[in-house]
Amino acid sequence: MRFLPAFTAALALSASLASQAQQVDAAKSEIGFVSKQMGVPVEGKFKKWSAQIAFDPKKAAAGKVSFTIETGSASFGAAETDAEVVKAAWFNVPKFPQATFTSTAIKPLGAGKFEVAGKLAIKGSTRDVTVPVTITQAGPVSTASGAFAIKRLEFKIGEGEWADTSMVADEVQVKFKLALTGLGPL
């Protein structure tokens, strides 16, 4: 009969973890980026991505966040540019169809602000990044937003003739806004 208390505890833990998972409303969310070409900001976004978020603002350190981005869905809104970024010099989509982010630590900073540390993998290169996140709440919907910079050349994005940073800047701002349901109160 000792099995029953352990089984009951396991079920309670599973239910607790399942209740912490949040749903992302993709139609009201976006992951974008801003690069500079010859000093002029150029904005783009990823059209296809998924997120797995299990986060309780009251127990931030126990949270987990991961993203998978389809690199071939990168869009600048111009057909010729969109056709170029999938090629080997840029995202090399046939060889590296996805970029990923997996959190390693979440630190609460107060007033709905958090610092999410994790591993960002793009085009075969993995780097540690720290992402500032601000969460606001309006009724049942929470919005998680933030921005952080990466160096594209560290991820081999823009190789060969495109490695010249006087044409395309090395720094790229990644920005996001996620509409979430199921998040507990701040």
Which ranges of the chain would DSSP assign to H, the alpha helix? 3-20, 79-85
In CATH terms, the superfamily for domain 22-181 is: Lipid/polyisoprenoid-binding, YceI-like (2.40.128.110)
Contacts of 74 (CB under 8 A, 6+ apart): 33, 44, 45, 46, 47, 82, 85, 86, 91
| Closest to 84 measured CA to CA, from 35, 151, 126, 129 | 35
Segment 49-76 mean pLDDT: 95
pLDDT of residue 3: 38
Segment 120-142 mean pLDDT: 96
Burial class for 65, CB neighbours closer than 10 Å (0-12, 13-18, 19+):
buried
pLDDT of residue 8: 35
Residue 173 pairs in a beta bridge with: 34, 149
pLDDT band at 5; cut points 50, 70, 90: very low
| Closest to 118 measured CA to CA, from 100, 98, 144, 134 | 100
Task: Name the residue ranges covered by the structural domains of the chain.
Answer: 22-181
The proportion of the chain whose per-residue pLDDT surpasses 70, expressed as a percent, equals: 89
What is the radius of gyration, based on Cα positions, of the chain?
Answer: 19
User: What type of residue sits at position 6?
Assistant: A
- Per residue in 13-52, pLDDT tens? 333 334 457 899 999 999 999 999 999 999 999 999 999 9
pLDDT over 70 at 144, yes or no: yes
